[in-house]
């Protein structure tokens, strides 16, 4: 794993945007895996800025989002489809038909078929080139909650108590937070060619330390990322504050600049 520790949220977002931009300049038809939530907002803002200011082209790009709440239509203001439209897709020249978010409006009984089709659609594009991830306070990635299998695929999942509490900030009460979601599996995520995990704020410090330096265990779903050969983790100081090897990561970060290569 490549661990980059930045001074603040803005620097995390700028670094992440630079990685996405490099991917798109090398492969204009790249397939991106995208996350929602508070963490990638700065990244999306920066991508919109680069699109407007430097002409970053999304016309050949395809995207797959990690997850969606069950029971919300794409038009619902709290749906992840609305989130992506509002924060990224409406502001860049991406073709909407190439943006994929699991369909949360289907009855639960149709979820299995929809999830199989979602996976098939990823395969038809040739697979995800770069997957952007956030991390839950409980160590989840996408909505793979503690206990999820490392080989899990896109499926219907029940949200964890902590996730429901964490996400209540977007709703008028905790009771309104959906209890189920459709989520890419850990096995699906690990098939991406490259992974970018972003985490900021001290409320993520414990999960980050467990994911990066703890044992690989299904109690910390993000620890499965240690099994992938090309993962970059970009943290702010607060999210990195419980890392035992922080000074070594900083040393490697400097060495990377000196030799001009990425050290995973």
* Residues of span 21-50 touching ligand F6R by CB under 6 A: 35-39
d(CA 57, CA 21): 9
* 188 touching ligand F6R, by CB under 6 A: no
Nearest residue to ligand F6R, using CB?
134
Give the residue with the Cβ less far from ligand F6R, 136 or 178: 136
Give the shortest CB-135-to-ligand F6R separation in angstroms. Answer: 6
3 state SS of 144: strand
Give the residue with the Cβ less far from ligand F6R, 134 or 178: 134
The yes-or-no answer on residue 140 being catalytic is: yes
Phi-psi region of 147 (alpha: psi -120 to 50; beta: other; left: phi over 0): left
Sheet holding 155-158, edge to edge: 67-69, 180-183, 155-158
* 152 touching ligand F6R, by CB under 6 A: no
* 66 touching ligand F6R, by CB under 6 A: yes
* 160 touching ligand F6R, by CB under 6 A: no
**Binding residue (CB under 6 A) for ligand F6R from 140, 156, 157, 190:** 140
* 178 touching ligand F6R, by CB under 6 A: no
Element (H, E) at 121: helix 111-124
* 119 touching ligand F6R, by CB under 6 A: no
Q: What is the DSSP letter of 97?
A: G
3 state SS of 177: coil
d(CA 238, CA 98): 36
* 79 touching ligand F6R, by CB under 6 A: no
Backbone torsions φ then ψ of 240, nearest 5 degrees? -90, 0
Which residues form the catalytic set? 67, 138, 140, 145
Q: Residues interacting with ligand F6R, by CB under 6 A?
A: 35-39, 66-67, 134-136, 140-142
């Amino acid at each position: 794993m490549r661990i980059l520790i930045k001074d603040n949220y803005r620097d995390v977002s700028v670094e992440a945007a630079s990685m996405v931009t490099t991917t798109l300049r090398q492969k204009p038809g790249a397939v991106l895996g995208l996350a929602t939530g508070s963490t990638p907002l700065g990244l999306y803002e920066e991508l919109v800025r680069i699109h407007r200011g430097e002409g970053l082209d999304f016309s050949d790009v395809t995207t797959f989002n990690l997850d969606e709440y069950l029971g919300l239509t794409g038009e619902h203001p709290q749906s992840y489809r609305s989130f992506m439209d509002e924060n990224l897709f409406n502001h860049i020249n991406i073709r909407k038909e190439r943006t994929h978010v699991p369909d949360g409006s289907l009855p639960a009984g149709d979820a299995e078929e929809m999830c199989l089709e979602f996976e098939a659609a990823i395969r038809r594009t040739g697979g995800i080139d770069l997957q952007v991830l956030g991390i839950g306070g409980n160590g989840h990635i996408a909505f793979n909650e503690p206990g999820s299998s490392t080989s899990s695929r896109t499926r219907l999942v029940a949200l964890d108590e902590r996730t429901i509490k964490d996400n209540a900030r977007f709703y008028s009460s905790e009771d309104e937070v959906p209890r189920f979601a459709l989520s890419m599996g850990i096995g699906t995520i690990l098939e991406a060619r490259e992974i970018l995990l972003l985490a900021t704020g001290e409320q993520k410090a414990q999960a980050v330390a467990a994911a990066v330096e703890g044992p690989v265990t299904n109690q910390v779903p993000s620890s499965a990322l240690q099994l992938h050969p090309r993962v970059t983790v970009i943290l702010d100081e607060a999210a990195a504050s419980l890392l035992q090897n922080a000074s070594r990561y900083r040393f490697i970060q400097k060495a990377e600049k000196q030799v001009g290569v990425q050290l995973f």
